[in-house]
Amino acid sequence: MFETIHPAEAVSGAIRLPGDKSISHRWAMIAGIAEGKTTIHGFATGEDCHSTLGILQALGIPVEDRGSEVIIEGRGLDGLRAPAGMLDAGNSGSTIRMMSGILAAQPFVSRIHGDESLAKRPMQRIMTPLQLMGAQIEATNGKYPPLTITGSQLKAIDYTPAVASAQVKTCILFAGLYCQGETIVREPVKTRDHTELALRMFGADLRTVGPVITLKGRPRLEAKELTVPGDLSSSAFFLSAALMARQSNLVIGGVGLNPTRTALLDYLVSIGAEIKILNVGEQHGELVGDILVRGSVKRPGQITGALTAALIDEIPTLAVLGAATEGIDVRDAAELRVKETDRIATVAENMKRAGIRMEVREDGFTIPGHQKFHAAAFDSFGDHRIAMAFAVAGLSADRPSTIERAEAASVSFPEFYDTLRRITS
């Protein structure tokens, strides 16, 4: 499917975003192994979180999917049933990596796979800790999906992951729910802490001291009534569009503002954006508020070290913003190469199509500022964040651009193009 993007002078209005993808996955998975009926309002509408719901159903958990409201009838830690066939994680790395922690502790064998993109994503990062806990996992060439997981009684470990990854941390903690004693994860770099907040909220005994998380096994998890905040990562496209436009005045309401995710806002402020946060409140342990953006970029941006992990999903759109404004330098970002696509390569290819100059390295890139996007035939390469980032690029081009395989946006944001049209003129 093609989408045509028309140049825009102004980005203004008030929008709300679909529910946070990271939080929706976690709340759904925990609800499936909690006791009783959990209702989740504002559940992420994207395909990824629906892959998680499909897997819970295949494991015998009743799920009523009413779009953005989802009811999950958890059957307790030991309530999952052996699936009849292969579990399908679709395009979702979060689903396969986080669910594997739960599957590894079940008294049955599961096979889990995904689409063509997922079949190329590395799984050793979760296989190694799960194997240390006693799980038996087979993978294609020892590292790629499909995974065949022979569940068993696991033992608690004290583990320092080699990669800064919230998915890996979550996988280990989910497996730790089934262990006797304490599972400890020592994070090399602090990553998003939605799992820790959610486990505590559902009733687990979990402590965090600095980078060390300790979880006591075999908790009783209790069903809840929950509302998911809007997805801050999805706000990056609109914030970037607003900062690139000649006139902008945009309000994004009800967005998740968990401090382990707000590096995006700090980064934008550091390059000169005027951002105001209003109506901050707390929802089930997560901070929520409205974001108001105005102004323009005044300084080049640099993303290196720990900041790279904190901004990993936002880098494609920040690259577009950098090219059109004061430039951007991204380092220590080899992880970008193993996302839904090799995002260094897919960003570079689309930049080339629009006549943007950039220097590409194995673990990052440098894009000089003050460049003009020429209208182009962009390609999502099947990657949702690439589709949306280059739709933003199209807004500042000289003539209409197209996005090929634009439907990829539905993985996290089915309403993206409609929302973009509503605020651009």
Task: Catalog residues that contact ligand S3P under the rule CB under 6 A.
Answer: 22, 94, 165-167, 192, 312-313
Closer CB to ligand S3P, residue 51 or residue 94? 94
Sequence-distant (≥ 6) Cβ neighbours of residue 233 within 8 angstroms: 20, 21, 22, 261, 264, 313, 314, 412
C-beta of residue 100 within 8 angstroms of C-beta of residue 114 = no
Q: Given 88, 313, 379, 383, which residue is catalytic?
A: 313
CB of 248 to ligand S3P, least distance (A): 26
CB of 53 to ligand S3P, least distance (A): 16
CB of 243 to ligand S3P, least distance (A): 22
What angle is formed at CA 360 by the lines to CA 357 and CA 361, rounded to 5 degrees? 160
CB of 192 to ligand S3P, least distance (A): 6
Q: How far apart are the C-alpha atoms of 112 and 85, rounded to whole Å?
A: 9
C-beta of residue 369 within 8 angstroms of C-beta of residue 327 = yes
Q: Which of 226, 214, 203, 193 is nearest to 28 (CA)?
A: 226
CB of 93 to ligand S3P, least distance (A): 6
Sequence-distant (≥ 6) Cβ neighbours of residue 78 within 8 angstroms: none
Q: How far apart are the C-alpha atoms of 351 and 353, rounded to whole Å?
A: 5
Q: What is the largest CA-CA distance in the chain?
A: 62
**Residue 342 catalytic?**
no
Closer CB to ligand S3P, residue 36 or residue 285? 285
Q: In the sheet where 286-294 sits, what is the strand order?
A: 10-16, 247-256, 286-294, 274-283
CB of 285 to ligand S3P, least distance (A): 16
DSSP symbols for 135-177:
-EEEEETTTEEEEEEE-------EE--SS--HHHHHHHHHHHT
Closer CB to ligand S3P, residue 8 or residue 312? 312
Closer CB to ligand S3P, residue 94 or residue 396? 94
CB of 56 to ligand S3P, least distance (A): 17
C-beta of residue 412 within 8 angstroms of C-beta of residue 231 = yes
Q: Which amino acid is at 394?
A: G
Sequence-distant (≥ 6) Cβ neighbours of residue 151 within 8 angstroms: 103, 104, 105, 106, 107, 108, 109, 110, 135
Closer CB to ligand S3P, residue 21 or residue 224? 21
Closer CB to ligand S3P, residue 316 or residue 327? 316
Closer CB to ligand S3P, residue 73 or residue 286? 286
Q: How far apart are the C-alpha atoms of 71 and 332, rounded to whole Å?
A: 40
Closer CB to ligand S3P, residue 163 or residue 292? 163
Count CB-CB contacts under 10 A for residue 41.
13
Q: How far apart are the C-alpha atoms of 241 and 268, rounded to whole Å?
A: 12
Strand pairing category for 247-256 and 10-16: parallel
- What Å distances lie between residue 103 and 108, 143, 152, CA to CA? 8, 17, 9
Q: Which of 254, 255, 291, 253 is nearest to 273 (CA)?
A: 291
Q: Please provide the size of the chain in residues.
A: 425
CB of 117 to ligand S3P, least distance (A): 13
Active site residues: 313
